[in-house]
Structure 1
Amino acid sequence: MKAIKKVVLAYSGGLDTSVIAKWLEDTYECEVVTFTADLGQGEEVEPARVKAQALGIKEIYIEDLREEFVRDFVFPMFRANTVYESEYLLGTSIARPLISKRLIEIANETGADAISHGATGKGNDQVRFELGAYALKPGVQVIAPWREWDLNSREKLLNYCDQHGIEVERKKGKSPYSMDANLLHISYEGGILENPWTEAEDDMWRWTVSPEQAPDKATYLDLTYEKGDIVAINGETMTPATVLEYLNKVGGENGVGRLDIVENRYVGMKSRGCYETPGGSIMLKAHRAIESITLDREVAHLKDELMPRYAKLIYNGYWWSPEREMLQKMIDESQQHVNGIVRVKLYKGNIIVVGRQSDDTLFDEAVATFEEDAGAYNQGDAEGFIKLNALRLRIAADKGRNL
């Protein structure tokens, strides 16, 4: 292992990364640069500056990346209607490539020869951070303290702080859950959730009311799409980040977006997690609705066939891979005519599509009507269509190979 002179640390200001900052200095005798990203996690990020300064850090990066996050990562993912294992909307997964990108950019700007993160050796995030980093800077050194040190408990981390004069908050009544939040979602793991039979406590949820406590009156939203992305809500033009912020607020108020799943981690284990993704849940439902009238049938079906592969690439950390970029080009091309308005009704945890319209619609009322169609569709043509498609079945039956 070559000597490390400077390392860029993905820094939250919490217990783990504060210990890591000091541990890196002591273990590698190197300078530490901290990077803290505001991805819409709902907490102030500026306190991280004060904490980093208290650790003696000279170069401190704190950046608001909310617009870039939604515009360049969340929106492209939702153009594909991306869901992992039929349920998970990838809220944590999609944030990691952006963090990796900025870690590498800052390493280049500051002349650092290494990056570091606080992901454990049991989870997916270590893979996502590092695959992204190696794709963007093949020769970068990655330091993952949780795979090297023996500070594998909260008690040991706190003892380390005491021994090295690191000031950290010792909150009473600290949440028993491991949580991750950004503009797309908030996740909960650990604590009682480690037993997949145990129901999550209702006071765990932070963004959404329970469906039972949601308003008795439905909320209607008109979502305007351009090339597969929402650009306005109820006629008001919004930026990508403000779109998601607004949908999170309204969705949460109506009990939308709670999820409790057991997922298959890339490293091999099963993990139970709970997620709140109110805005993303609305986006997924509405996007499929606008595509239903603007996409050709075979294009829509092909997208649905490819989506699980695309979702797995993102979940496993391959955002910067050539195969994901190839799929993205195809997905983006499919969205050229995905324009129009979708009306949804939110009611007690439900998202109900009640209307869709587009100047690019492929829905032809003259053909689809159950009333007189004035010759737009010759129903007699269906006979030959059916017989041709039944030919192989009839031949098999004649040969005695019927089921």
Structure 2
Amino acid sequence: MMKKTRYTNVYQDSKGNFFYQVFLGRDEHGKQKFKKGRKDTKGNPFSSARSAYIEAVKIKNNYLESSGKVIYRMTYKTFMLKKYIPKYKGDVEESTFLSHSKAFDYAINRLGDKLLEDITVLDCEEYRTWLLTESGFSKSYCSMVYISFRQSLEYAVSVGILDVNVSRKTKSIPKGKAVVAYWNKKQFEKVISQFYIDDYHEYFCFMMIWLYFMTGVRVGEALALKWSDIDLKNAKVRIHHTLEYKNKQNYTIKPYTKTASGKRVISLDSDTVSFLRKWKKVQKEHGVRNFVISYDDTPTSRSAVNKIVKRYAKLAGVPEIEAKGLRHSHVSYLINEFNADVLTVSRRLGHSGPDITLKHYSHLWNRNDDSLAELMTGNIKVKFSRKRQASFNGNQVFKVNK
């Protein structure tokens, strides 16, 4: 037999012991669910009705919070797992979500147990300091992680859970200048000299690196290329897709590029057209008819591209670069060999405007004024007057001892 106490959900049994019994909703069959307990978190029996009540409130709040039924007294961890992360996942590409998911983990590990409303400017500042001093991350990665944290609190404000985003009172973390390694023409020639194209797989590796270097397309754009995108007769390639890759059986060809302006048609040089014609025939002999950068008619992963680039860089004795470094290599090649102007480069790369191109590649034009300096030499005809034409007064008059 049990009797009620003056505290909600707290009872006393026939022996005088206190316990709580909390209603936790219904299961999928409509059956009521209760949580009953006689001991506190330390395993000790409740010494009073009040101590049992405190534990009952905690149990009830944890249930409401985890089920998303309480939005104000919510920990940062619950907010992230129940509110922000699902919303963010629905807003962005899967590849973007996966690249940012670790950033969410870092913030949760540091601030997860705090109630959203209890997070202070000092908490944010300490998290920022930890990123910059103890995390071991690069400055650009720290910047991305901290931006993700600030955006999560901004979302809490936008949906009315918080009144103010306290992280905005701290400084952002500047990205710093990222330098992407690339190959110049001579280094690229050393790399391609390592290929034995009578071997099918080496021919595949050669075509991959050659196509990236000679077109400047993004990694995912080239991996999505099919032969139907290439017009060998008119020497054009149509860049309208990008690859989202998980494994050889699980991939998606997205009907768009990284940006809206990324959809473009670019011209191919005759050497590339010639290599592509031969490669297409070789592929057919091995049953490959769809994907251009493929040896088994399934897409190639981004990680495989990076491994191949690094492997042949090592063989050639040139700097190891990332796959995206071949895009930089292409820009360097266009500028240094052909003095290409920024507008042409911008259109070829699929940028929305020359300003974007200059933002990322302006350093590659640093020798572009050499020819101008040569042209300027002797261009101005200099002929001095045989007598003084101007008269000077006051302090501007200089006395010269003859």
TM-score (norm 1): 0.20
Q: Comparing both structures, which one devotes a greater share of its residues to helix?
A: 2
Q: Comparing both structures, which one devotes a greater share of its residues to strand?
A: 1
Larger radius of gyration: 2
Of the two structures, which has the highest relative contact order with CA contacts closer than 8 Å and spacing of 6 or more?
A: 1
TM-score (norm 2): 0.20
